[in-house]
Structure formats: structure tokens, C-alpha cells
Amino acid sequence: MSRRIIQFGTSRFLQAHVDLFVQEAREAGQAIGPITIVQASGSAARAGRTAAFGRPEGYPVIIRGMEDGAPVEREVTVRAVDGGLSAAADWERLAALFAADAGFVVSNMGDAGYVLDPADRGPALLAGGVPVSFPGKLTALLHRRWRAGGPGLAVLPCELLNRNGEVLKAAVVELAREAGAEAGFLGWLEAEVPFANTLVDRIVSEPIEPVGAVAEPYALWAIERQPGLAIPFAHPCLIVADSLEPFERLKLHILNLGHSFLADLWLREGRPAQETVRALLADPTAGGRLRAVLEGEVIPGFAARGMEAAARAYAAVTLERFANPFLNHRVADIAQNHAVKVERRIGAFLDWIAGQPGAPATPVLGALAARPAARQPSAEVAS
């Protein structure tokens, strides 16, 4: 079985997350990779980056931040990537490689990555041209592989979308049916092509041109177990679990909630426009408020759900990540779309713990979620 990974997306996140993991697994003696990186968007701005992938010298990933209370900095040279392709310019090369030598698929196509294009609907999708959308491209490539008699393969999407594997699979099946795909292909998709639900977590703060990135030490790639899913390699930051919900809740209701709590303080108090999370956390009053709400409302809420130990550990790591001396994460960026974020991160937490035996009182979070100002950020901040 091929161990090649076809990666859709050239982002610095993937460079410092999946690609770095593969490099470290190869250094540990595991048979995984190489990686072919596909520029799926057609953006001219990414063309130089795509051309730079696969250079023999590799590219650097610099890890900077706090780990166990101490600052760390290290550099890894990623040589696991052996080339970059443009879906628009290199479609036939990509299709041939995908049909004959792909072992796994990885993707991170951004928030709009699964949007279907009208041009991809109908029989033309499987006629040999280059589809427009990412799901369209994946459907056509999978059909080409099936038609060539190729084996199934695992799809591991990394987009920040709940149940991302299920959503992507549904899009592929929908497009295949609209294109009039054969029953055999649809059956092969169902039986031989597992689409995994995954969750990724790492702050990748800066690009290195033309390829490379600066990232924090913390990283997580959680993959939900399912029948027929073969995990391509082992890594300390890669976790296979029966359910992603615990990881999703920790990230959403501690890290993301903490960000929005600080953003709310920043909005209400009219703090400096360029203030960073690190600077705000270092303010004794603001930092103290966040620590108090984590200790008094958030962690007890997780305790009511049977997750106290996990929440305490994750909260400690989160505060360390917020204090990263190398990361300039502006609160203004977090404050964009504040109302929606408050609802998803804080309102959903309150709903999740409501009625649970031992659930704590939540006067601070309850007031924040109910405050009209929290739901209507200023135009300057939202812009």
C-alpha cells in the first residue's frame, strides 16, 4: 500500500502541523509519506509557494513558546514534502498521481472550502475537466482512481468544521450522484473510502517565505475512530479517540471561551487597539478576572460533566499558550464577529452545563452572554 499523502492546501498551518508531524514520524523510522501538496484554489498569490515545495533542502518550522513554564525554541527542517502541484495547471499530473500512488488525503481549505460551485453539478464533473470547488476536485479524482481499479484510501480533513469528515463525504456523494456516477463507484466510496472526523489545534503565528512557519509548542490532531480507518502514522500529538466531543468541548469552552472573555473586556474598557492577548493577560486585573472565571465557573462546569481533571489540565496549558512571549495575537482580531463567538463559546457552554447535578452558578458568564453590547461589536472592531 502506498504511504504517499496528497495534501490539498498550502497553508502555513498544514506546514507546521500535519507536514511537521510526518517529518518527525519519518525521523523516528516510520514509513509514511512523502507528501505532495496541491494548490487547489488557483490563487496567483500562492503560486510561488507551490513552486517552492519539494526543494531538497526542505523548509524550516520554528517552534517558539512556553512549555512546562519555561520558554522553548527549536527548529525542524521538513523534508517530507517532495513537490507541489497546481490543480489548475497540473490537473492531469495530479489525477495520474492520485489514481496510482495516493495512500491518504489531507486537506485544509479554509472556512469556505466545502462550498459547492454550480459548475460542478452534473455530468460534466466526471468528463475530465478541472472542477471548480474542492469537493468537486476530490469527487473527480476519486472517480478516476476507482475507474483505474485503485484501492480505497482514507480522507483526513483538517478544516475547522464540526464533523468535517461527514460534511465532506456528504458533499462528495451529492456531487457524484448529480453527475450520474456508477452504482459501483458510490458503493466503493461507502465501503472503501473512510472520511474521518478530525479536530486540529495549534497556533501558527507567522509564515516564513517562501515556505516555512513559526508555531507554538502545543499541538493536537484528534481523529475519531471508525471502521476501516487506518491511521497513517503515530505521533505524540496525534490522538485516535472514540469521540471528538471531549476535545471539542475543551477547545471551545476553555481556549475559545477565554479568548472571547478577554475580547469582551477589551471592547467594554476601550483598551489599546494593538493590545495582544499576552499583554491583556499580564494586566493583573484582566488576567485575574479570566483566572477567576475559569476557576469559579468554567472548570466546575466541566466537573459537573465528569471532565474536571481534563479541564484543569487544559486550562493550565491554555493560560501558558496565552502567555507565549513570542506570539503577538491581537485581541482586536479575536473580537471580530464577537456576538456570534459569544453565543457559540459562552452561550453554548451555559446550555451544555444547564441542569447538570453539581453545575455551578455562572453569574459572570451569564451576564456576559446576556449583555446586549456583547452581541453588537462596534463597526471599527468588526471591520
* 174 φ, ψ (degrees, to nearest 5): -60, -45
Residue with cell 525521523: 27
pLDDT of residue 46: 67
What does the pLDDT profile of the chain (383 residues) look like in tens digits?
689 999 999 999 999 999 999 999 999 999 999 999 999 987 666 667 888 998 999 999 999 998 888 889 999 999 999 999 999 999 999 999 999 999 999 999 987 899 999 999 999 999 999 999 999 999 999 999 999 999 999 999 999 899 999 999 999 999 999 999 999 999 999 999 999 999 999 999 889 999 999 999 999 999 999 999 999 999 999 999 999 999 999 999 999 999 999 999 999 999 999 999 999 999 999 999 999 999 999 999 999 999 999 999 999 999 999 999 988 899 999 999 999 999 999 999 999 999 999 999 999 999 999 986 544 333 332 22
How far apart CA 104 and CA 155 sit, in angstroms, is 6
DSSP letters spanning 100-148: HH--EEEE---TTTTPPPGGGSSGGGGTTS--SSHHHHHHHHHHHHHHT
User: What is the signed CA dihedral for 187, 190, 193, 199, rounded to 10 degrees?
Assistant: 160
Single out the residue of 18, 13, 16 nearest to residue 5, CA to CA: 18
- 36 membership: H or E segment, kind and range: strand 35-39
Question: Any idea which residue has 486540529 for its cell?
Answer: 200
Residue 44: half-sphere exposure toward Cβ, Cα within 13 Å: 0
Can you tell me which residue has the cell 493583573? 284
Contacts of 382 (CB under 8 A, 6+ apart): 335, 336, 337, 338
Please, which residues bridge with residue 6 across strands? 36, 105
Between the alpha carbon of residue 199 and those of residues 26, 77, 186, 257, the distances in Å are 22, 25, 26, 17
Give me the DSSP letters along 244-294: SHHHHHHIIIIIIHHHHHHHHHHHHHT--TT-BHHHHHHSHHHHHHHHHHI
**pLDDT in the model for residue 18:** 98
d(CA 263, CA 318): 16
Give bridge partners of residue 85 from the DSSP assignment. 38
Count of positions (residues) in the chain: 383
pLDDT of residue 374: 44
Contact, 259 vs 250, CB < 8 A?
no
- Name the region of 122 (left: φ>0; alpha: ψ -120 to 50; beta: rest): left
Q: How far apart are CA 132 and CA 130, in angstroms?
A: 7
Best CA proximity match to 157, nearest among 197, 192, 104: 197
Q: How far apart are CA 124 and CA 143, in angstroms?
A: 13
Which pLDDT value is given to residue 380?
A: 30
Q: Nearest-CA neighbor of 238 among 251, 223, 228, 224?
A: 223
* Residue 66 confidence (pLDDT): 87
CA dist 255 and 277 (Å) reads: 12
All cell numbers assigned to 74: 527549536
Residue whose C-alpha is closest to residue 310's, from 256, 359, 247: 247
CB 330 within 8 A of CB 324: no
AA letter at 376 = Q
Complete domains list, the chain, with CATH = 5-241 (3.40.50.720), 245-382 (1.10.1040.10)
